[in-house]
Structure 1
Amino acid sequence: MSEQAPLPPVSGLSFERAVDELERIVARLERGDVALDESIAIYARGEELKKHCEKLLNAAEARVEKIRLDREGRPAGTEPLDQG
């Protein structure tokens, strides 16, 4: 993340790409072989990625619906996942 090509904006990343980058950041920080200034910069990027992932997960959760079944076991409609 130092002297590499500029990183893409977090807002344009898919959930999978954001998680992958976040995992790489965590691994680098856990190894402890990153200079302090770079640690601070990649930690900040990690915070952005975490917030972006949370936002994407919340949006996906809002779209997920569970199927309600009628007495015969046929789909009768849908309702938001967090209700009933």
Structure 2
Amino acid sequence: MSNQIETRLRLGATQINVHRVNGESAWMDAVDARRTAQRLPDEWSLTPFTAEQQAAALQDTPREDRAKLVPSETAGPFNV
């Protein structure tokens, strides 16, 4: 697991790979990625969450909602 921020240049814009506490990740424009991680630090991060953080987040999810947790399959608003 890397603690470095992953970046890339796409169509002239810098993008950052943001990580969600459930294990998903998505490329976002740098400004949006930093803003998202700053506004929602318990859900999004610029570096991957640890296994312990992911397990704790899953424990906080009500059991009836766990069945609804599915990967976004790159169809969400943060995926290119």
Between Structure 1 and Structure 2, the one with more strand by share is 2
Please give the range of the TM-score, normalised by the shorter of the 2 chains.
under 0.3
Q: Which has the higher contact order (CA 8 A, sep 6+)?
A: 2
Larger CA Rg, structure 1 vs 2: 1
Between Structure 1 and Structure 2, the one with more helix by share is 1
TM-score, normalised to structure 1, is 0.25
